[in-house]
Structure 1
Amino acid sequence: MSENTSNTTSKFRWRLWENRAEADEVTPKHPHKPFPGWLYGVLFLVFDIIAVAALEVGVSSSSTRVQLSSPTVGFGFVSKMWTDGNFVFLLNVILVGLLYLALLMLFNRFWTASIVILAAGIFVAAIEHFKVEIRYEAILPADLGFLGTNTGNMLTFIPAGAHVTILVALGAFIALVALILVLRHFDGRQGRMIRTRNMGLNFASRLILLLLPLLAFSLYCMQVSTTDSWANKLSLGMGDKPSMWDSVYDAQRNGPLVAFTRQVNPKIMDKPDDYSEQTMKEVAARYEQEAKQINASRANNLNDSTVVYVLSESFSDPSRVPGLKVNKDSMPNIRKIKENTTSGLMLSSGYGGGTANLEYMGLTGLSMANFDSSLTSPYQQLVPGAHWAPTINQMWGAPANSLGYHPYESSMYSRATNYKKFGFSHFYTLTGPDVIKYQDKIDDSPYVSDKSSYDSALEGIKDGTANKFIQIITMQNHMPYHEWYKDNDFTVESTTGTPLEKDEQESIETYQKGASITDQATKEFLDELDKLDKPVTVVFYGDHLPGIYSSAGQDDGNSLALHLTDYFIWSNKASGTQGVKADDAAYSSPNFFVAQAAEHMDAKVSPYLAFLTEMHAKIAAMEPPVVNQIQGWERIPEGQSIYLDQDGEPMSTEDFDEETEQLLADYKLIQYDITAGKNYLKNTNFMTLP
């Protein structure tokens, strides 16, 4: 062998030894062979699919109520790829895969990233299940506002029987972790993704491969709600069929992650074709004339009285729920009050939840039915960034005349921030900065009683001589309902032939007792107001039914009944309008309350209130398309907002007369200008009382 050949061989052997040493340093010796790359790819896909499946199970396993139609869920979510050519399942796999890939690069360990993605999928699935069970609502981007200061309070929203779901989820997770640990034991590579001694190259490679999937996922989220964008076309092309009028149906039909991302960057409203400064001036002038006609026959001023809005948490009549028989009346006092004043049933967009949306409509006169379906929570998605937020309390002048009372967390639904923007000088809550004075609870209930809420507000009403706007949001009847009250003699039974489950019966009977306590406290509150020598008018309404009627929810013919609550408008003796029964009051929705209160009080109106008065005369109640059975009717298009006439019957937009169509068009112009437009109405007298 020549010297040159010997030198070359030595150098080769040295380099081989050096490479082996480098490999040994990066990946220590292991008794088992490293898994091949193709096996990592297969396992990546398997774990990705398991995470997607867990999320789908989370929104599909609840028995709270029947959805709008019969969505393809379970195995059908996958099988429709070859039965219908619908690949939305694959779209969910891709989106979860992007997050999974980012985790791989973050940890640089396949097995660690796999445990994290599966843990996240199972945890979110459990939360989805609980939220659907309680509120019939999937997880929404707005829910992220609960994280941080409200995380601990979220535990109070876990329903009865939750331990079964928790144990199942925990068992599934433990089984998967055990499988992963076994696989890791036999993997000589130990799941390391990028192996090199060059730290700079290692870091740069991982950073690029971390940022690319995160960038792709972020761009998709930002664009998917925009018509004709690449993300929107991709989503629709793979079978996404947006059904955002019902978040649960949407999540079941299209996958929870696809449904969630579609709402990350919501559109407020479509811009009306004729929107312009000139158009808005014409709208303002049109209803200025309407206001003059209405005011010609009215004697009082709205802000010459104190007006109190009472949003009574989950208050409704249990005896009106189909398929149930109660042993006695839970609301005899309120029933009597309703018989002798302006009152009726309110169409609610919520069931078991959605309080803040009803609250928003009541305070603004705007309707959720006019917003784009991707905007699901104005309090969290719209108000914080709004340039102009006109609310009815502002008609009482200085912020000192606007007071709010809510015996719970001030940060819930961003209320502390929003109420300041709305022009309230004080918003009294449990956490302050303005702390509500009375905080008594009843027996074992975790929530402040309605009597305490009323007593706190009474002090604000009596304080000083100025007339005020008072907002009360109660908490006493909030879920869950776990035999809080002693000496509860309320009972309920099914009339369908199928006995109620134990948890459902316990919840309903506890709720009945709470409703009866509210009934008595409300009567006592009005009695106190009747003693005052200053005029006071109260607008009282239940925001939604409690999410406890699982049996009734199984029949989608009950849908409308499960979205109707009780309301009344009452005035004290000093007001001069006690006992008034305004016209067209049998059905309503919160956006019309202020106009109805003005009619009840014989009070003059602004052009805006004149518009709402005219609108309510044509359409008694309106809400986004949330009521199941109505969506199934052939003459009501799927996804159309819910419109009720004065008899509570659903209306189709195809049957509207020219005047109703004009009013609806004007409503959208007004709402667009206030929330998404250039606020042309702000410089007019549209919101100004005479």
Structure 2
Amino acid sequence: MCEEPKAVTNPSDAEHTVSVTDVGVAGTCQDAEGVGTGARRGRLGFRLHGSMTLPAWAYVLLFILFDALAVAMLQWGVTLSSSRVALSNPLIGFWGFVSAMWTSQRFVFVLNLLAIGLVYLIVLFLTNRFWVATPVLLVAAALISVIEHFKVVSRYEAVLPSDLDFLHADAGNIMTFLPAGSTWVIVAALIAIAIMILASVLLGRADRRRGRVVATGNRRLGASIRFAGVLVPALVLSLFMSAVGTYGSWANSFSRWMGDLPSMWDSVYDSQRNGTFISFSRQLNPKVMDRPSDYSQATMETLARRYAKEAQAINAKRSTYMDESTVVYILSESFSDPTRVPGLHVNMDPMPNIRALKRNTTSGLMLSAGYGGGTANMEFMALTGLSMANFDPSLTSPYQQVVPDLKWVPTVNQIWGAPKNSQAFHPYEPSMYSRAQNYKTFGFSHFYSLAGRDVIAHQDHIGSSPYVSDKSAYDSALEKMGSSRARQFVEIITMQNHMPYNDWYVGNPYQVSADDGSQPLGDDEASSIRTYAKGVNLTDQATRGFLDSIERIGKPVTVVFYGDHLPGIYTTAGADQNNSLALHLTDYFIWSNKASAARDTNLEGSAYTSPNFFTAQTAEHMDAKVSPYLAFLTRLRGKVAAMEPPVVNQIQGWERIPDGQTIYLDGHGKPMDARGFDKETRRLLHDYKLIQYDIMAGKHYLKQASFTQAPTRAADEAAARKAQQRREAKKENGGSESPQAPVQNSAQ
């Protein structure tokens, strides 16, 4: 039975008397009866119904705070206690991410706030409950940050759009990818999630409005407001995410205006520097290249037939097969001849061995698209035969932006068949440019690096250099090559001469100066060039030793060696735009050992090239039969010796390919004007775009047409036997038969 509360007559009784007004509820008998013993619970804070009234500005402030908390959690996911690649990519914690607003006028923190805020608004208007939308957002951010953390710790790589396919296809095995110590992270995350949910429930009960965002007496009006509240931010967000990776779009321009500086070589650093959400969004929908107007299945089938005939004509004059030799591609980091830099004097030759070698084998200068950077793009062109010149300016890193989403990418190593015949060596982080994953796509069985499943065997350093020496990279490859009698493809990507050049070598004998005494080199520039010149000399010695070792291998081996770009240290020479071409020419050679029939081959017309032509040149050097694709590249190189997108005399940025005209060189290294190309050259260049579009963004009609499949002796002999059997059968039946083209097998 309910009774009215008694008045307190004795002050000493006050602390023992409870009034229903203590819990913020009207002091009526009915209310007290409804609460019962809940009045006492109310004093402990469990019964908070309607005890809090928030003004509109408070909701706005809380919205911003929770939005910032979500961004902070996402940034935690990509932040390590120390960077594993700290030399080139300094660790950027959350405070560094925020403080960039006043230290470097980069407002990427605000940009991520706006983007996550749009997600927040969508959930907010969808649920119409502030205290429901908030835990949904924060829990989602917490889960994503934990996933990011696990991937960064285990593979030093941020979550990429291609990972969504993995989660869908192999979700059952996701637990096998958790790093050591992950249990405690999961427990901590679950506790944090529970706290966020509980706090939101309690605050929601205390809020007199229940966190209702739209509250009108008109249901239709309320529904319309909520619909618009979901539709508008969803539309803006989707348009932004789909366009932010395309240079020149409104989203990309706005992102850059806010301070977004893409760092495509390292997904973790990119996320730390520009924000997890923005970094991920940039790779969702990159514009690969414009679709050629005549692209169709019929067009591609006609093209495939045209170059199949070209391949037949070439193969009739050649006698060997590429897969009957071992081929080694060496991308020598930043290797070039410093004595060729305009206006620079070096006191002695840093590369006497390679210079002498180049006089007696196929060799010359390679036109590079990079200066001080862009390594993976040269690597991509050398492996695929495709050209950066054909891509949209927005596509600055195929390894990061396109390859992870492709199921088929024809690369030179596929000529050797099964993945067991392809190995790669790179004495650095396997996650850089997503190499480890991409090399699986390319069909390599092993990618030896400093971390992961396949750790490179030799990791010696020279002097105080932080990078593994070229000799160690070569020794690691030689051990694997020498242990197998099988023919194989080997890729070596060195690191010894990577920037910076901080006087690593004690007793360095190299001295440099400017030819023009009135414009001397700066101290920092001279010091960097001296260190670099010594590094080139060490590479020269190590390469000579590597080739001597290959001479002793009792199987035919051909080596393709090239520098990917010049180091970005030539400040004086780079200031003169007339030096642009000279600062984008590196050294290359193609050499075969004494066990190879191609020994001492020195092809004419090899003075200038670009990396997309290496495989076609290697086949010619070896006198090897070619696929229709390599026949096409051979034909194109007969018209254009080298081609690259526009270049600039500064370390490559990742916002876009530099503006300007594609660079074409003739066989003498002279720039060519595309307006003066003859009809055949124009057709070849158009066919190149068709081929590249089909492989990188199209329907893969060329795969169905076996366009990239190179001949093998076994396939040709089998085809010849079948053709002979058919001719004999026809003869017995009194018929006749036209000769059949040989069946082609393997890749490229």
Instruction: Please say which of residues 195-204 and 263-272 is displaced more in the overlay.
Output: 195-204
Q: What do the CA deviations read for 1:648-679 (whole angstroms, capped 9, x no partner)?
A: 22222211111111111111111111111111
CA distance in 1, matches of 2:232, 2:371: 37
2:315·2:626 contact (CA, 8 Å) conserved in 1? yes
1:464-479 mapped onto 2 (5 Å cutoff): 464-479=484-499
| SS of match in other structure, 1:310 | strand
Give aligned-pair identity as a percent: 57
Where do 5+ consecutive residues of structure 1 fail to align? 1-13, 15-21, 29-33, 41-88, 107-143, 154-194, 248-255, 630-636
| SS of match in other structure, 1:540 | strand
Per-residue deviation, 1:588: 0.9
Q: Are 2:437 and 1:417 equivalent residues in the alignment?
A: yes
1:266 counterpart (260, 282, 286): 286
Q: Are 2:390 and 1:374 equivalent residues in the alignment?
A: no
Alignment-derived partner of residue 638 in structure 2: 617
1:218 counterpart (234, 237, 251): 237
Alignment-derived partner of residue 114 in structure 2: 98
Per-residue deviation, 1:389: 1.4
1:245·1:639 contact (CA, 8 Å) conserved in 2? no
2:583·2:649 contact (CA, 8 Å) conserved in 1? no
Per-residue deviation, 1:414: 1.1
Per-residue deviation, 1:198: 6.1
1:495 counterpart (515, 518, 525): 515
Per-residue deviation, 1:352: 1.4
Per-residue deviation, 1:503: 2.2
Alignment-derived partner of residue 668 in structure 1: 689
State which structure, 1 or 2, has the greater radius of gyration over its C-alpha atoms: 2
CA distance in 2, matches of 1:363, 1:527: 25
Per-residue deviation, 1:483: 1.3
CA distance in 1, matches of 2:435, 2:253: 36
2:329·2:490 contact (CA, 8 Å) conserved in 1? yes
| SS of match in other structure, 1:573 | coil
CA distance in 1, matches of 2:263, 2:675: 22
Per-residue deviation, 1:535: 0.8
Per-residue deviation, 1:220: 3.8
Alignment-derived partner of residue 311 in structure 2: 291
| SS of match in other structure, 1:685 | coil
CA distance in 1, matches of 2:514, 2:112: 43
TM score, norm. by length of structure 2:
0.63
Alignment-derived partner of residue 14 in structure 2: none
CA distance in 2, matches of 1:627, 1:510: 24
2:337 counterpart (317, 328, 351): 317
2:627 counterpart (590, 606, 619): 606
1:384-463 mapped onto 2 (5 Å cutoff): 384-463=404-483
Alignment-derived partner of residue 365 in structure 1: 385
Amino acid at match of 1:218: L
CA distance in 1, matches of 2:598, 2:238: 57
Alignment-derived partner of residue 667 in structure 2: 646
Amino acid at match of 1:594: T
Q: Are 2:588 and 1:567 equivalent residues in the alignment?
A: yes
Amino acid at match of 1:415: R
Per-residue deviation, 1:509: 0.9
2:561·2:589 contact (CA, 8 Å) conserved in 1? yes
Q: What do the CA deviations read for 1:271-298 (whole angstroms, capped 9, x no partner)?
A: 1111111111111111111111111211
CA distance in 1, matches of 2:596, 2:448: 27
Q: Are 2:608 and 1:587 equivalent residues in the alignment?
A: yes
Q: What do the CA deviations read for 1:473-505 (whole angstroms, capped 9, x no partner)?
A: 111111111111121111112234333232222
| SS of match in other structure, 1:434 | coil
CA distance in 1, matches of 2:373, 2:236: 30
CA change 1:521–1:201 in 2 (3 A) is farther
Amino acid at match of 1:530: E
2:302 counterpart (258, 261, 282): 282
Instruction: Please say which of residues 677-686 and 262-271 is displaced more in the overlay.
Output: 262-271
Q: What do the CA deviations read for 1:514-547 (whole angstroms, capped 9, x no partner)?
A: 1100000001111111122211100000011112
Q: Are 2:563 and 1:542 equivalent residues in the alignment?
A: yes
Amino acid at match of 1:533: G
| SS of match in other structure, 2:578 | helix
Alignment-derived partner of residue 173 in structure 2: none
CA distance in 2, matches of 1:238, 1:350: 24
Q: Are 2:354 and 1:346 equivalent residues in the alignment?
A: no
CA change 1:213–1:466 in 2 (3 A) is same
CA distance in 2, matches of 1:509, 1:26: 70
Amino acid at match of 1:296: A
Q: Are 2:521 and 1:513 equivalent residues in the alignment?
A: no
| SS of match in other structure, 1:569 | strand
Amino acid at match of 2:498: H
CA distance in 2, matches of 1:93, 1:435: 37
1:246·1:626 contact (CA, 8 Å) conserved in 2? no
2:559·2:592 contact (CA, 8 Å) conserved in 1? yes
TM score, norm. by length of structure 1:
0.67
2:53·2:208 contact (CA, 8 Å) conserved in 1? no
CA distance in 1, matches of 2:296, 2:150: 35
Per-residue deviation, 1:583: 2.6
| SS of match in other structure, 2:327 | strand
Amino acid at match of 2:601: V
CA change 1:590–1:479 in 2 (3 A) is same
Per-residue deviation, 1:102: 7.0
2:245·2:394 contact (CA, 8 Å) conserved in 1? no
1:54-93 mapped onto 2 (5 Å cutoff): none
1:268·1:676 contact (CA, 8 Å) conserved in 2? yes
| SS of match in other structure, 2:606 | coil
Q: Are 2:576 and 1:555 equivalent residues in the alignment?
A: yes
| SS of match in other structure, 1:299 | coil
1:624·1:640 contact (CA, 8 Å) conserved in 2? yes
CA distance in 2, matches of 1:226, 1:404: 30
1:627·1:642 contact (CA, 8 Å) conserved in 2? no
Q: What do the CA deviations read for 1:420-453 (whole angstroms, capped 9, x no partner)?
A: 1111111111113111111111121111111111
CA change 1:346–1:519 in 2 (3 A) is same
CA distance in 2, matches of 1:338, 1:238: 47
Q: How many residues align?
A: 542
Amino acid at match of 1:285: R
CA distance in 1, matches of 2:527, 2:155: 27
Per-residue deviation, 1:316: 0.7
Q: What do the CA deviations read for 1:67-119 (whole angstroms, capped 9, x no partner)?
A: xxxxxxxxxxxxxxxxxxxxxx9x9999688359779999xxxxxxxxxxxxx
1:383 counterpart (403, 406, 410): 403
CA distance in 2, matches of 1:681, 1:479: 40
Q: What do the CA deviations read for 1:117-146 (whole angstroms, capped 9, x no partner)?
A: xxxxxxxxxxxxxxxxxxxxxxxxxxx999
Per-residue deviation, 1:640: 2.4
Bigger relative contact order, structure 1 or 2 (CA pairs below 8 A, ≥6 apart): 1
Where do 5+ consecutive residues of structure 2 fail to align? 1-23, 25-47, 62-104, 124-148, 159-202, 215-225, 265-273, 651-657, 712-748
CA change 1:101–1:615 in 2 (3 A) is same
CA change 1:460–1:200 in 2 (3 A) is farther
2:246·2:252 contact (CA, 8 Å) conserved in 1? no
1:102·1:210 contact (CA, 8 Å) conserved in 2? no
1:98·1:213 contact (CA, 8 Å) conserved in 2? no
Per-residue deviation, 1:356: 1.0
CA distance in 1, matches of 2:642, 2:474: 28
| SS of match in other structure, 2:638 | helix
CA distance in 1, matches of 2:599, 2:457: 30
Instruction: Please say which of residues 680-689 and 606-615 is displaced more in the overlay.
Output: 680-689
CA change 1:211–1:488 in 2 (3 A) is farther
Amino acid at match of 2:558: T
Per-residue deviation, 1:685: 2.9
CA distance in 1, matches of 2:643, 2:152: 32
